[in-house]
Structure 1
Amino acid sequence: METHALPAPAAPAFEEIDVPVWAWALVAVAALVSYFVMLENGTVLAGAAETLHEFFHDGRHFVGVPCH
């Protein structure tokens, strides 16, 4: 009895995506804004901008992120 090996299916070829530099900058800014909205508790601001801290604090409540 003879056995024959079947050739492995070829992996689909994907085109390389060229991501522009401005898109990476936008992702970095979005990550920074996410940090400030969800995690910043005044450590970075160190009391210098209490109004900004309260603005983000109220924004966390509005979005539904638990912060207390």
Structure 2
Amino acid sequence: MAETAAFPAASLPGPIPVGEILPWAVFAGLLALIALYFIGAEQGATAVFSGMGVHEFVHDGRHLLGFPCH
């Protein structure tokens, strides 16, 4: 005798309201812009922090993303 497994009917996911996604998308975009600033522009005249600590911390990331620094 062959047994047949009874699986429950699959329910389709409902639409996600834009009002729920928008705050997270804005937050992720803001984090991405902050990361891009620190990797790409945090040195020299536009520096927020004095010294080269931030530059040295993100130095390899700068070269990985194609930003020249020296």
TM-score range, shorter chain: 0.5 to 0.7
Q: Bigger relative contact order, structure 1 or 2, given CA contacts below 8 A and separation 6+?
A: 1
Identical columns (%):
42
Q: Could you tell me the TM-score, scaled by structure 1's length?
A: 0.56
Across the aligned residues of Structure 1 and Structure 2, the Cα RMSD in angstroms comes to 2.2
Q: State the match for 1:8 in structure 2.
A: none
Q: Could you tell me the TM-score, scaled by structure 2's length?
A: 0.54
- Alpha-carbon deviations, 1:1-54, whole Å to 9, x = none? xxxxxxxxxxxxxxxx7242111111011011011111111621212x72x320
Aligned length: 50
**Structure 1: which 4+ aligned runs deviate by more than 4 Å?**
none
In structure 2, the gaps of 5 or more residues are 1-16
